[in-house]
Structure 1
Amino acid sequence: MTDPSPIPDVMRLGELGFSPAASLLSRFGLTLVSIADGEPIPGSFWGDDEAGIIGHTVYARADTPVHSLLHEAGHLLVLPAERRGAVHTDATDSIEEEDATCYLQVVMGDVLPGVGSARIMVDMDRWGYSFRLGSTRAWFEGDAENARQWLIERGLLDGYGSLVFP
């Protein structure tokens, strides 16, 4: 019997490599911890191959989707530094923070070699993110101004929509 729900074709961390992702996260004071294949990922909200967060640390395996790693890192980045240390698995119930996290993961894709925001948006759609305009790209380009402004006001993006590194 075959599995009725095929694994989406998305970029995985093993394809990117841990070093570029760890380097990006370290620029924001976050740590990326590599988990062995087949081992449970600490702090993973959804389980399986999804990235996890505890404090200032993001946990991932080689089979973790890059978009998942960026999303979980984004959750930590949108939080005030004093709240990050208390995070374990679930970062927020705030719609504004969730929107900002989705926007930020797209932008962070552009600074990873061989990834890019276009790939992150496609992978988010393949994974099942849902936006009222129908796709991640449509949301990002036409309905995410509030998330963009939220990130600018908190110093995570500049006025041009580029990442601001501490």
Structure 2
Amino acid sequence: RKHIPATRNWVEFFTYVSFFPQLAAGPIERAGKMLPQFKVLRSFDYTAAKDGMRQILLGLFKKIVIADACGRQVDLIFSDYQNLNGSTLFIGAIYFLFQVYGDFSGYSDMAIGMGRLFGLKLSQNFHYPFLAKNPRELWQRWHISLTTWFRDYVYIPL
């Protein structure tokens, strides 16, 4: 807050608050990063478009192959949870973890890729969270923009 002057340009403001690629699942971008990008006149960049399409395809893979496949298993396991043992429920929880990761990370990758198609750079939102060495590091790598938003607007003001 109060790091950049308020924009008086309604088009820039509404473009920022309604930028559709990031609305669904992030990344949560700060005005200080996005508004300056909206002011730059851009032309088509083949390399950025190629990178954007690659990121979109990665996101689709995470969503369709990982999240949806895990979701089917989660539904199957938890539809009859009363009659299952603890180890099966634990496996169901692992599937659910990967389903959530595939959904959020996949949607974030698609948003980042769409941003690249428009010539905009959105922040990385997941940084290989399952390669973390401990829970603290996992949290720092998981939905990075949401974590920093909570830190800056909820935790620090307290």
Bin the TM-score by the shorter chain: under 0.3
Hey, which of these two has a bigger chunk of strand by percent? 1
Q: TM-score, normalised by structure 2?
A: 0.26
- Give the number of the structure whose residues are more often helix, by fraction: 2
Greater relative contact order (Cα 8 A, min sep 6): structure 1 or 2? 2
Of structures 1 and 2, the larger Rg is shown by 2
TM-score computed with the length of structure 1 as normaliser? 0.25
